[in-house]
Chains A and B, each alone.
Chain A
Amino acid sequence: MSRHHTGPRAGAGARTIRWTVLGVAAAAALVPLLAMLDFSTRTPTGGRSGQAWSSLATDPDLSAAILVSLQLALLTAVVVVALLLPTMLLVALRLSWARQPLELVCLLPLAVPAVVVVVGVAPVYAWVVHLLGSSPLNLVFVYAVLALPYAHRALAAGLGGLDLRTLVEAARSLGARWPDVVLKVVLPNLTGAVASTVVLVVAVVLGEFTVASLLGYDTLPVAINLVGKRDAELSVAASLASLVLAFVLLLGLSLLPVGRRRRAAPAAAVLSPTPAAPPGTGAPS
């Protein structure tokens, strides 16, 4: 899976294009954030002050909310991958009639705005609170559903690049049991897709405000919104801080399964054939 594009591809021309595109993209992303940083450190007299940032760091409500949101994010990521990936494999291998319905179902959460989702989900959550108490971790269910469109798209993009049937047949004919097939053959080929999925799910949970706020749970975005009401500079500092926190978390997560990718690469290269016609035509999209 490692892509050593040395040789004819990595010419100087391609490199300048790459760095220009990345440079423009980075500038477009950083300038607004710098403008926010500039505003959050302003004082009414025109000077600079880190007061907004220091009061953020010491706010007790925020630290509690950060913990809640981190737990929720990781829990939701696990739930989504554990539920969606086997389902997509099952549909790809055995239940091909369910491919379109699955895609529709996975797109529905994005079809309506969050305020409408809350209107519908509130009666269900009345039961959830009745059965499970009112911990903020209840939100894992609705967050898993809200993250489905993104997760499904990322996993489908990864699955589309595999010749799933051949891989699975080869593994089964070599004597692998189903758990080994999934964990040791399919999953290592999907590390990019699963990584993208986890990133998306965590980002969705750390950024989701409407449902948590309307159902009355104190997650990080809700706490940040409340903190921001006290002060203009504080609200901008709080938004920027939540972005930085999410970025650091996602970067940290990406540092985890490094060894696995490298070890799996040769096995995948052996198992996935290099056909004359590109595979992925009949694979799920």
Chain B
Amino acid sequence: MTALAAGRRTASRSSGRLASEVTAAAGLLPFGALVVLFLLIPLGVVFAGALLDESGRPTLGGLAALGDPVVRSAFARSFELSAITAAVGAVLGAAVATVVAGSSPTSALRRVVVAACGVLSQFAGVPLAFALVATIGLSGVVTQLLGGAGVDLYASGVWLFDTPGLVLAYTCFQVPLMVIVFLPALDGVRPAWREASLTLGGTRWQHFRLVSVPVLAPAFTGALLLLFANALSAYATAAALVSQGSSIVPLQIRRALSSDVLVGQQDLASTLAVGMVLVVAVVMGAQALVQRRTARWLR
């Protein structure tokens, strides 16, 4: 135990300890107020839509909609899309971040990359769909260039408006997000450790496997989780690129909330939202488990 904590324990009586705990917890109040008012209450309103019936009594009947085959396949596709783009985005983003982390925090390169990645991480929706189709769509710039060189991008069908196209579109904002979110972690990897490993006789691969990976693992899995949730709730890009079929959950939510054709489905939207929160909570739990395991390896 550290000197500070030990000193605190022996020096306080139980009431003093209670007081300091309360003051510490009170430090959570400003943040807590923001979160309760603008996150927990709104989520409560949404959950109420899913879990209360017309007369206001709790019921689980609304959740039965989650068992509908169309809904289930939408959740499966959403999960698959989010997992793939999170993994691809994490790996590519980590690569770019590693390259950039080598330069000084005040260098022009790092500043430009961080600013650009910040902007591109929010570049989604109709403009992104347009830019993608303009670049590698059926009559896009790159498609035509490659066609001139004899390569037909669409030989095996038009994949741009199906899951592969969505993966590409999502990766466009997942990679920049990963770069920004992972760079601070790379800043914490000190060059002195590598020098220590090398002087102790280890190889570069051993240093990577036994030092860098465990140190960066929590940040990496945390970023992976962020990317997953980011892709799961992304709606605008899919709506513009694949406006047919409501194949993923956010599109189904949108349809339930504002369809001109099938009216009166607001509660279904709330139920789907509850489902999404459950998915994120489950994935978060899995990530916490993985983290606890990797932390154990370090002891």
Contacts and interface: CB of A to CB of B under 8 A. Distances in A.
A–B contact with Cβ pairs below 8 Å: the answer is yes
A48 to B, nearest CB: 16
A39 B134 contact: yes
A40 B136 CA distance: 17
B99 A36 contact: no
Contacts of A204: 122
A119 B188 contact: no
A195 B29 CA distance: 25
B184 A192 contact: yes
Nearest to A191: B105
Interface residues of A, number: 108
Contact of B42 (A121, A149, A258, A277): A121
A87 B118 contact: no
Nearest to B39: A145
Nearest to B20: A94
A174 interface: no
Contacts of A119: 42, 45-46, 49, 257, 266, 269-270
Contacts of A98: 28
Contact of B27 (A86, A109, A120): A86
A136 interface: no
Interface in A36-95: 36, 38-39, 83-84, 86-87, 90-91, 94-95
- A21, A25, A121 pick with most chain B CB within 10 angstroms: A25
Interface string A15-33: 0011001100100010111
A31 B187 contact: no
Nearest to B193: A278
Contacts of B222: 103, 153, 156-157, 285
Contact of B118 (A155, A246, A276): A246
26 contacts: A2-B106, A3-B105, A21-B96, A32-B128, A35-B134, A98-B28, A113-B235, A116-B46, A119-B46, A119-B49, A120-B45, A121-B38, A145-B34, A149-B226, A160-B188, A169-B2, A192-B105, A193-B187, A196-B114, A196-B180, A203-B121, A243-B123, A246-B122, A258-B106, A274-B196, A278-B211
B115 A199 contact: yes
A185 interface: no
B230 interface: yes
Interface string B25-66: 101101100110111011111100100000000000000000
B286 interface: no
Interface stretch (B69-77, B157-165, B213-221): B213-221
A156 to B, nearest CB: 6
Interface of A is mostly: helix
A81 to B, nearest CB: 12
Given A114-B235, A278-B214, A161 B185 contact: yes
B12 interface: no
Interface centre among B25, B46, B175, B185 (most CB of A within 10 A): B185
Contacts of A87: 27-28, 30-31
Given A90-B24, A158-B185, A120 B42 contact: yes
Nearest to B4: A169
A236 B42 contact: no
A204 to B, nearest CB: 6
B81 interface: no
Interface residues of B, number: 113
A116 B60 CA distance: 20
B45 A200 contact: no
Interface string A182-195: 00000000111101
B119 A246 contact: yes
Contacts of A129: none
B99 A150 contact: no
B298 interface: yes
B262 interface: no
Interface centre among B46, B106, B122, B298 (most CB of A within 10 A): B122
Interface in A187-245: 190-193, 195-196, 199-200, 202-204, 206-210, 235-236, 239-240, 243
A6 to B, nearest CB: 11
B4 A172 contact: yes
A196 B44 CA distance: 31
A262 B38 contact: no
Contacts of B234: 113
A161 to B, nearest CB: 2
A90 B22 CA distance: 12
A158 B186 CA distance: 8
B263 interface: no
Contacts of A9: 102, 191
A169 B3 contact: yes
Nearest to B231: A110
Given A104-B284, A115-B269, 20 more contacts: A32-B132, A32-B134, A107-B229, A116-B46, A116-B257, A119-B46, A119-B266, A145-B39, A153-B223, A157-B183, A161-B215, A165-B4, A169-B4, A192-B184, A203-B119, A246-B122, A274-B190, A274-B196, A276-B196, A278-B215
Interface string B91-107: 00001100111111110
Q: Lowest 6 CB-CB distances: which A-B pairs, in order?
A: A161-B188, A120-B42, A207-B122, A285-B218, A239-B127, A158-B184
B295 interface: yes
